[in-house]
Structures are given as structure tokens and as C-alpha cells.
A and B are shown apart, each in its own frame.
Chain A
Amino acid sequence: MADLGQSKPLPDITDLTRPFWTAAKNGKLVLQKCQRCATFNFHPKPWCIECGSRELQWTAAKPSGTVYSYTVSRTVAMNSPAWAAEMPLILCLIDLDDGARLYGQVTGCRAEDIRIGMRVDVHFEDISDEAGIPKFRPALQPATAG
């Protein structure tokens, strides 16, 4: 178990999840894509939760999405105290353009400006020698149709 008091938590990287962390370390967003029904999965699963196929392939996903919901955390709870320096922290549920939803921190945005429907682009932060993590920031270009 990580020493949660001193640093932000790091994932236990397994063969199942390594492609995600390695890609993020290299500035790329990859998700499992079902080879039978084309569903994108997040977080990593042992098979496709839509159709049950085990033929999942790590696939580059469009690095953009829309804020489905948001909260502004103002105090550390149920996580490492090392997050305290980043409060207030904008945490969102992001609907990726390729059709998966994930928890993601939005940076470069004032707490009072975050909105549902805001277009966001992914960026990455190194968190260890082995892993990076996707975060989001408001998109530079306005949303296109859809």
C-alpha cells in the first residue's frame, strides 16, 4: 500500500492496465475498444460490458470531450492529504467524444467558470516513472456541431 500521507496515490499497475498508464506517460489517450461491437470501455474491464466479448484492443481515443457533470472539492476526503495543495480542485465526469465516460480533473479553469456542456481537451501529467494521467482543460476552439 502506498504511503498515502506523503504523496498522491499511485496506481498498482498490472498487465491489464499497463497500456493505459504507459500511453498516458507518452501523452496519448488509449481505451479498450471492443472488436465485436466497437464499444469503448473505461475503466479497464476483463471483457466488453455491452456484448461480453473478450476481444478488447487498446485503441487511441479522440483526446476531447464534454463535461457531463462537475464538482469543486474544497477539502480532502477519502484520498491522500497530498491533494490539499490543489484545493479547490475541479473534478468532472467527462464524456469523451468516442463515447466513454471518466473521472477527470479540469485544470486551467476557475472554479466559478466550470459548466456542464463545456468542451474540454485532454492533457497529461506525469505521476511516476511508469505512469501518466489524463487531465482536461477548456477547449481552445468552440464546439463544432453536435
Chain B
Amino acid sequence: MRGEVAIVGYGRTPYSRAKPGEPVLNVDEYIAWAADLALQKAGMSKNDFDGQGLGVSHAEVAHTVNWSAATAENLGISPQVLLRADQGGASAASMLIRAAAMIHAGIVDRVLVVGADTPLNIPSVAPGLPLSPERTRGVYWDFQGPFGVMGASAQFALVQTRYMHEHALTSEQLGKIAVSARYHASLNPGAIYRKPFTLDEYMNSRMLSDPIRLLDCVPIVNGGLAYIVTSGKTARSITDKPVYLRGFGEINNYYHGSRALPDITTTGFVQSAPQAMKMAGVQHKDINFFQPYDDYPFIAMMTIEDFGFCNKGEGGRFVEEHDLSFNGDFPMSTDGGQLSGGQPGGAIGGFMPLVEAVTQLRGEAGVRQVKNANIGAACGFGGIPYGRPGRSCISLILGTEP
């Protein structure tokens, strides 16, 4: 399936922190806005998706049953195939793989994939705790909330502490990732936090859950993203800049070691990345930029090493020894990532690595453009399982040639 499908359009709405006085859009409005941007980019209309595919990412904000079909109703599209992903921050990547399989099978020729969320519109009792049923109900919550688990920061802090016990990693090395993301955000008008900060400012930021600091954490926003994927043939007929899906790898509910007592310092990318690169026929040296799922610098660092850019345990040193900026020797999170760009809900942040990879490969990244970008890697990372780092780990290799 290498190079059989291509992305021909993408959209990313402006994000909002829903400050007083700002207009408050709902999730359906953000979906339509993002879809509109993607359709404009592709030179297509919503009617091109009648009888084709529509993919809808999970969102946290309350939505109806049959939400993918209801979204089709809201958009006035009559698709043959509905895709729905509930893989958190891996949802955008997983729908690309599902869409590619549908196109490969000849069931449809093209799929419009949308995602939006408005977590800031949900009443919240504590930072990051909107009162949505899935945050505060069910066995998963019952065995964490009452036990004193302070959300993702505490969950990832536990992984990071263990990692730092087993491997050499300094806070300064992780700080470099955060500083670099903010630098890229300063070059991206769409990023939510754009004022650069220094390593000292990172180091002096408030400790939230040792060893995770305030500037390690992703800011939540309202917003939406979308992309359009078609057969290679259709892609070539509508754009001279198709971005081909050259390879993909996916693993869900990965355990490193035993299920009862796994090693939590290694993620499923050790499985999905080699799979994607083999399918794509590329090696690490061929990859011009890397867009990890970067809700925390530590997660980005672990993804670098599990993707195989360096040996296990050497991610910190790798970060220290490379220039992560768009014009450096290892361009990474070139849009400012989620860290400084903002995360439109846990699920929708996963569109950002993919959309930025496509932006770069089309040469449309403006002042943050990576020179001669022909092959890029992007990641989806979704969900936090009990006591482990990531439920879904998806690796994508995209390129300007099939």
C-alpha cells in the first residue's frame, strides 16, 4: 500500500482559550470551520464527499449518539462510509490508516476527516478536570480519582521518575524541547503561546508533580482540524503537491514485558515505528523532520528514542546534541507542537503532528519551513492506560513522492 493514497488538503482553525469576551463556538462549528479550510486548500466542495467517506474523531464535549452520522447531517454530506476513532491523540492517525485501507479496497476514493473539541466549554472543577462523564465515571476513574491520581501530569511524572531511575536524563535536556517548541510557536501565528522563554525560565517554572513542571504541560484550547485523503490518482488530478502516505505502523495496548508488571519506560513506538519505516522503505537518515505527539517534553523524548533515532536511554543526550529547530539538524515539532500551540482536547491534539507534517511537505510552512523537506515522520499517541504511558502508538511516514 506504499504511496497509494495522498493527503490533498488540511485545515487548522485558530484556537481559543475561551477568555471572557471571545466568541464561544461549539464543536460542530469548529468541525465545519476546519473542514471548510481543508476543502478550500484542496479545491473541493462538500458535495465531493457524497457517496465517499467521512471520518469523525472522538471528542470529549457532550455529543449525540451516532455522532459521526450526526456530523454528516450537520455538514449536509451523505457519505457511503463513516469512520469514527476513539483512540484519543491517535485518532487522526488511525483514521488515516483506516481511510487508506478503504481506498485501497476500492470501497471509496476519498475521505474527509474532521476533529474538533471544546474542552473549555465544559464546566470544570479543577485544572484539566471538565465534568464529562468519561473523566469522572467508570472503573478507570474509580481506581484513580479516589487514589489521589492528579491526572496526566502525575501519571506521566511516575513514568518519568522511573525512566530517570533507569537512564540518564536531565531536566535541562527536556527543557530544551520545551524551549524549542516555544521558539517554533513564535514563528507560527496559529500557536496559542508565542512569547519565547529561556531554559532558565523553564527550570524555574513551578513544580506541579515532581519532576513535571508547569512549562512541561500542554495548554488546553478549543479548536478544530481536518484533512482530506484521496487515492493517488485523484490526488494527482487535483493538486501538484500531494503528500503521500508511504508507511504506517500501529499498536494498541502495548506492554513492554509482562502484563502485570510491565516496563513502563518503553512505548509501543518500538513496534509501530519499524513497521512504518519498513513499509515506507526509509531509514532514519532519510527522514527530514519529526513531528511527535508532544503533550509533554518527556513523551516527545521517549518517542524519539522508541522511534529509533537513538538507542534506548540515550534520548536525553540526543536532544542535547541536536538542534531541534526547523533549520537545525533534527527539526522537530516545527509548528510549536501542542506544548506551545495548544491542545484542542486530548483527541484532537493528535491531528497537529499530521497536519504540520503535510504543511511542511507541501512547502507551506512559511518562516518555519524546513528546507528540502521530502520525507517526514509524524506520530499519534492516544490515551493513558492504568499505570502505563500510552494506549495507542501510531507511526506515519509521509513523503512528497509515492
- Spell out A's residues near B (CB within 8 Å): 1-2, 4-5, 8-12, 14, 16-17, 39-44, 49-50, 68-81, 83, 86, 89, 91-93, 95, 99-105, 111, 116, 127, 131, 133
Bound form: Cα–Cα A64–B218 in Å: 36
- Kindly provide the distance from the CB of B211 to the nearest chain A CB, expressed in whole angstroms: 8
**Residue contact A16 to B387, C-beta cutoff 8 Å:** no
- Spell out B's residues near A (CB within 8 Å): 125-129, 131, 133, 135-154, 157-159, 161-162, 165, 206-212, 258-261, 264, 386-387
The answer, among B133, B159, B258, for a CB contact under 8 Å with A69, is B159
**Residue contact B147 to A101, C-beta cutoff 8 Å:** no
Bound form: Cα–Cα A86–B150 in Å: 12
Considering residues A74, A93, A102, which has the most beta carbons from chain B within 10 angstroms of its beta carbon? A93
**Residue contact A50 to B143, C-beta cutoff 8 Å:** no
Chain A neighbourhood of B138, CB < 8 A: 12
Bound form: Cα–Cα A104–B158 in Å: 11
**Residue contact A73 to B387, C-beta cutoff 8 Å:** no
Considering residues A50, A70, A111, which has the most beta carbons from chain B within 10 angstroms of its beta carbon? A70
**Residue contact B209 to A73, C-beta cutoff 8 Å:** yes
**Residue contact A44 to B139, C-beta cutoff 8 Å:** yes
Chain A neighbourhood of B128, CB < 8 A: 77-78
**Residue contact B148 to A1, C-beta cutoff 8 Å:** no
Chain A neighbourhood of B259, CB < 8 A: 39, 49-50
**Residue contact B126 to A71, C-beta cutoff 8 Å:** no
Chain B neighbourhood of A9, CB < 8 A: 136, 141, 145-146
Considering residues A77, A83, A104, A133, which has the most beta carbons from chain B within 10 angstroms of its beta carbon? A77
Bound form: Cα–Cα A127–B204 in Å: 37
**Residue contact A103 to B210, C-beta cutoff 8 Å:** no
Chain A neighbourhood of B136, CB < 8 A: 1-2, 4, 9
**Residue contact B148 to A83, C-beta cutoff 8 Å:** yes
Q: In the complex, given contacts A39-B259, A80-B145, A91-B150, what are 20 additional A-B residue pairs having Cβ atoms less than 8 angstroms apart?
A: A1-B137, A2-B136, A9-B146, A11-B143, A40-B260, A50-B260, A70-B161, A71-B157, A73-B153, A73-B154, A74-B209, A77-B127, A77-B128, A77-B151, A78-B126, A78-B151, A91-B154, A92-B158, A95-B261, A103-B144
Chain A neighbourhood of B261, CB < 8 A: 68, 95, 99-101
Given A69-B158, A71-B161, A99-B261, does the pair A77, B150 have CB atoms closer than 8 Å?
Answer: yes
Bound form: Cα–Cα A70–B211 in Å: 10
Considering residues A8, A42, A72, A127, which has the most beta carbons from chain B within 10 angstroms of its beta carbon? A72
Chain B neighbourhood of A93, CB < 8 A: 158, 162, 264, 387
- Kindly provide the distance from the CB of B363 to the nearest chain A CB, expressed in whole angstroms: 40
Chain B neighbourhood of A68, CB < 8 A: 162, 261
When C-beta atoms are compared, the residue in chain B nearest to A92 turns out to be B158
Bound form: Cα–Cα A49–B162 in Å: 24
- Kindly provide the distance from the CB of A66 to the nearest chain B CB, expressed in whole angstroms: 11
Bound form: Cα–Cα A17–B386 in Å: 16
The answer, among A14, A69, A77, A91, for a CB contact under 8 Å with B126, is A77
**Residue contact B158 to A80, C-beta cutoff 8 Å:** no
**Residue contact B207 to A74, C-beta cutoff 8 Å:** yes
The answer, among B126, B131, B161, for a CB contact under 8 Å with A76, is B126
**Residue contact A39 to B260, C-beta cutoff 8 Å:** yes
- Kindly provide the distance from the CB of A91 to the nearest chain B CB, expressed in whole angstroms: 6
Q: Which 9 pairs of residues, A with B, have the shortest CB-CB distance? A: A78-B151, A71-B157, A11-B142, A9-B145, A69-B162, A43-B143, A78-B128, A73-B150, A73-B209
Chain A neighbourhood of B158, CB < 8 A: 69-71, 91-93
